[in-house]
Amino acid sequence: MEGINVLPLFVFSLFVSLWMRGHCQNDTAIYIVTLKQAPAVHQTGFVKGFASSEINNGASGATNTLNKPNRNASRTNTSYGSRLVHLQNSLLRKVLKGENYLKLYSYQYLINGFAVLITQQQADKLARRREVANVVLDFSVRTATTYTPEFLGLPQGAWVQEGGPDVAGEGIVIGLIDTGIDPAHPSFSDDFCQSNYPVPSHFSGVCEVTKDFPSGSCNRKLIGARHFAASAITRGIFNSSQDYPSPIDGDGHGTHTASIAAGNHGIPVIVSGHHFGNASGMAPHAHIAVYKALYKSFGGFAADVVAAIDQAAQDGVDIISLSITPNRRPPGLATFFNPIDMSLLSAVKSGIFIVQAAGNTGPSPKSMSSFSPWIFTVGASAHDRIYNNYIVLGNNQTIQGVGLALLPSAATDGDSMYTLISATHALKNETEEVNNLGECQDSSYLDQDLVKGNLLICSYSIRFVLGMSSVKQALQTAQNVSAAGIIFYMDPFVLGFQLNPTPMAIPGLILPSADDSKIFLKYYNDSLVRNVTSNSIVKFTGVAKILGGIKANYSSSAPKVMYYSARGPDPEDNLIANADILKPNLIAPGNSIWGAWSSLGADSAEFQGESFAMISGTSMAAPHIAGLAALIKQKFPNFSPSAIASALSTTATVNDKQGGPIMAQRAYSNPDLSQSPATPFDMGSGFVNATAALDPGLIFDLSFDDFFSFLCGINGSAPVVLNYTGLSCNVSNMNGSDLNLPSITVAVLNQSRTITRTVTNIANDEIYGVSWSPPYGVSVSITPKKFSIASGQMQNLTVVLNATLNNSSPSYGRVGLYGSKGHVLTFPLSVISKIIYNSTVS
């Protein structure tokens, strides 16, 4: 693979340091400045690889089947992009003549602008220039398998349709914007490829070469790798010892998500010497390009993320997967108008399918962290594989726990019961009062003679969540004092934290419920025999045994929406308005997911030094969809991003394995006790059906022009749209419900609304019948109720909604299209507020 050498971090850091020392001002900050002149993608139509831009005189670009930009349009050179950079530099020199500033990035492909370190006064100067469209303060962002291929039916379904795992995803490039990658991991080796496995010709990316990421790190599987950290370095928060100025993954998160999307097939998952099965990505023969813009110690910043998105689009990726979300809701006219989302809109114009994690801010309504209709937003569900272990107390009470005990016998021996001893009651006589002794982080304070052969009780406090204490260290403590096993009870202040099964080299578990922890502690405390006079403990009579923890069990209640998965409705702005857009779009496996782990990974202390880790979050759900999108793109290379989204959405299931409704957890504490049937604002269209998505029958398609008209239809948006795209709005009355999405969402139904949906037949000629269930408080009619559609033809569906009562609570219905040749498509109807005409005469 082609490599490039990068400027050493210390050189850039020294330059920044010297600049700051000479020009330090209190209001200096990083701003993202966009210019009114159109970026390359809007100037040239569709561009795959900036070095070979395609020119089209029309603003919408040349298109072919299903609004997909045409890769065969005429080509030009890089002169337009070079001219944009020249104009940016000229503007800075002219406006800030004789003043000090530091330009960090030039954006030229998806947006025309730059990131620059300047003062507030300088930002105001730039904002007043007629060439300048927008000046936005940089903001922070954050990060939000062995079995899931089987759970999704890939080995018997989608992979078979593609020709097996050895070719699934072939020719497709997935770009991941994350914390980097460990190139030495076998999940990303190309040694497993027996057949011809060329780098796709439409990809032009390169691999950085650094001390941490030497020449040869890339191959035919991992075909691109860069890092972006100028904003973080300029702020002085970049820690080179743990963040690494290279594409290498010092966190673990990026390696994990890359392996979920496109890791090699059949890689043994071995943790602490135990074999947990074989891992595979969703599209094991797809190619990976990595754009590192997130870091262990601080997360990331929009200026770096936008640079990464811009580069990925220039390089020619087919899919962008972002397991990241902003730390705050974007301010301004609408949530859609922010540098990240608008860059992604331009990426969609160039034919790139965008997947983003919904965020881990659930279960409250309107907690969504992914906003725009051109982004495919993925929530997290549980799958059916669970690792159960539990304790049985001396009074025969059983309490469920979390743990992966890694012994041949994963539990305490046989039916034997073991004495329970809390770390706080096992201190050496001379031990003085020391904070956090109950967390079992230091064996030197414990009396080995007292603990030996017994079960050590430790507190799982907020310090474990913050990384100040670790299960691994507590296990070492237990081993140092020869404990038979270890039990962690949950501190009541640790609320809403998702615990993953944790590797334990001795029998052990964590009680994840604060309520169960209270039951356990009550039993323990009641069992203590104390001296009546001194209240000192005379005898420990509480006993327990640990069972389970290494063999997976399979639940019939999956999938279900996890409590942490962010929920709709989609917030239209920073106030209370809801958008006529369904979010999330879909749910996918995100809980307790095995994935590759970086050898330098420090994000999960429990898996440090391991080659695989089991972690949870919508960050894990998004790359599942990125990989499945690659399979669709492979089968239907002319599909637009919206066509891929439609195939995934209309074929999703709303039922669990038992045939009942998918459930959604609705509380942090004891989430399984708070479940109720999931709504579209919990799960979008439903749970992804990988095999059905490869044969959807009909497609709801959209182009860039449709999204552009939607943005122009937002009251007062014309200047903002021009700012980001360089394109002028015509008069538009389009709202979110008018977009040809595979869903209908109405925030306010004021008496009546008529909505049109258009389907395109990508299969053979077929006859479809239409049926529906209306939302509560709404009458629905759809015409036609039956239609015949030839291959390649389109059919309009007219949907009329009438409010039948005044109500402000969301209600839901569903529309089904049932084909004579077996195709079944469904999509959700969601109406929030209903208002009927008041005919009362005074």
Mean pLDDT of the chain: 84
List 771's β-bridge partners, or say none: 816
Mean pLDDT to the nearest integer, 40-46: 65
Give the CB-side neighbour count of residue 555, counting CA atoms within 13 A: 12
More confident residue, 452 or 337: 452
Distances (CA, A) of 40 to 37, 314, 388, 522: 9, 10, 53, 67
Mean pLDDT to the nearest integer, 469-491: 90
Edge-to-edge strand order for the sheet containing 418-422? Answer: 398-401, 389-393, 543-548, 418-422, 455-460, 485-490, 508-510
Length of the chain: 842
Q: Are 319 and 378 in contact (CB under 8 A)?
A: no
What local confidence, expressed as pLDDT, does residue 477 receive? 93
Q: pTM value?
A: 0.84
Q: Is 185 a catalytic residue?
A: no
Interhelix angle 79-95/120-127, nearest 10 degrees: 120
- Stretch among 159-163, 289-293, 733-737, 770-774 having the lowest mean pLDDT: 159-163
Alpha carbon 550 to its chain centroid, in Å, reads: 28
Instruction: Please say if the pLDDT value at position 448 is more than 90.
Output: yes
Mean pLDDT to the nearest integer, 585-599: 90
What local confidence, expressed as pLDDT, does residue 60 receive? 32
Which of 196-200, 330-334, 483-487, 761-765 shows the highest mean pLDDT? 761-765
Distance, in Å, from the CA atom of 542 to the CA atom of 454, rounded to the nearest integer, reads 11
Q: Any idea of the CA torsion for 627, 632, 635, 636, to the nearest 10 degrees?
A: -140
Mean pLDDT to the nearest integer, 547-555: 61
What local confidence, expressed as pLDDT, does residue 409 receive? 39
Nearest-5° angle of CA 295, CA 296, CA 299?
A: 55
- Stretch among 153-167, 338-352, 596-610, 784-798 having the lowest mean pLDDT: 153-167
pLDDT one-digit tens code per residue, 243-297: 899 999 998 999 999 999 999 988 888 887 777 788 889 998 999 999 999 998 8
pLDDT one-digit tens code per residue, 374-397: 999 999 998 756 666 788 999 999
Q: Is 619 a catalytic residue?
A: yes
Distances (CA, A) of 797 to 478, 703, 787: 66, 19, 10
Distances (CA, A) of 159 to 134, 149, 152: 46, 10, 11
pLDDT one-digit tens code per residue, 315-351: 999 999 998 887 777 777 778 888 899 999 999 999 9
Q: Are 350 and 46 in contact (CB under 8 A)?
A: yes
Alpha carbon 791 to its chain centroid, in Å, reads: 35
Distance, in Å, from the CA atom of 682 to the CA atom of 364, rounded to the nearest integer, reads 10
Q: Are 614 and 594 in contact (CB under 8 A)?
A: yes
- pLDDT tier at 304 (50, 70, 90 boundaries)? very high
Mean pLDDT to the nearest integer, 100-118: 91
Q: Are 639 and 66 in contact (CB under 8 A)?
A: yes
- pLDDT tier at 431 (50, 70, 90 boundaries)? low
List 279's β-bridge partners, or say none: 267
Of 408, 427, 405, 395, nearest in space to 488 by CA: 405
- pLDDT tier at 224 (50, 70, 90 boundaries)? very high
Q: Which member of 253, 256, 287, 383 is catalytic? A: 253
Distances (CA, A) of 669 to 172, 367, 390: 42, 18, 18
What local confidence, expressed as pLDDT, does residue 556 receive? 58
Distance, in Å, from the CA atom of 92 to the CA atom of 778, rounded to the nearest integer, reads 56
Instruction: Please say if the pLDDT value at position 492 is more than 60.
Output: yes
Name the token pair of 457: 């009780």
Instruction: Please say if the pLDDT value at position 842 is more than 50.
Output: no
- pLDDT tier at 116 (50, 70, 90 boundaries)? very high
Share of the chain above pLDDT 70, in %: 83
What local confidence, expressed as pLDDT, does residue 512 receive? 82
Q: Which residues, 6+ apart, have CB-to-CB distance to 90 below 8 Å?
A: none
Q: Is 253 a catalytic residue?
A: yes
Q: Which member of 369, 381, 422, 619 is catalytic? A: 619
3-state secondary structure (DSSP) of residue 351: coil
Q: Which member of 178, 318, 701, 738 is catalytic? A: 178
b or e along 578-597 (b: 16 or more beta carbons within 10 Å of the residue's beta carbon)? bbbbbbbbbbbbbbbbbbbb
b or e along 641-653 (b: 16 or more beta carbons within 10 Å of the residue's beta carbon)? bbbbbbbbbbbbb
Backbone angles phi, psi at 315, to 5 degrees: -70, -25
First-to-last alpha carbon distance for the chain, in angstroms, is 80
What local confidence, expressed as pLDDT, does residue 78 receive? 64
What local confidence, expressed as pLDDT, does residue 54 receive? 29
Name the token pair of 488: 């962690």
DSSP 532: T
Instruction: Please say if the pLDDT value at position 71 is more than 90.
Output: no
Distances (CA, A) of 183 to 47, 186, 220, 285, 702: 28, 8, 12, 16, 37
DSSP 52: G
Distances (CA, A) of 449 to 166, 249, 432: 56, 43, 19
Mean pLDDT to the nearest integer, 400-419: 64
Distance, in Å, from the CA atom of 569 to the CA atom of 551, rounded to the nearest integer, reads 39
Of 365, 441, 362, 341, nearest in space to 707 by CA: 341
What local confidence, expressed as pLDDT, does residue 468 receive? 80
Nearest-5° angle of CA 740, CA 175, CA 600?
A: 140
Rg over alpha carbons for the chain, rounded to the nearest Å, is: 28
Surface-to-core class of residue 415, CB atoms within 10 Å of its CB (0-12 exposed, 13-18 middle, 19+ buried): exposed
What local confidence, expressed as pLDDT, does residue 506 receive? 83
Give the CB-side neighbour count of residue 771, counting CA atoms within 13 A: 4
pLDDT one-digit tens code per residue, 700-742: 999 999 999 999 999 888 888 888 888 899 989 999 999 999 9
Surface-to-core class of residue 686, CB atoms within 10 Å of its CB (0-12 exposed, 13-18 middle, 19+ buried): buried
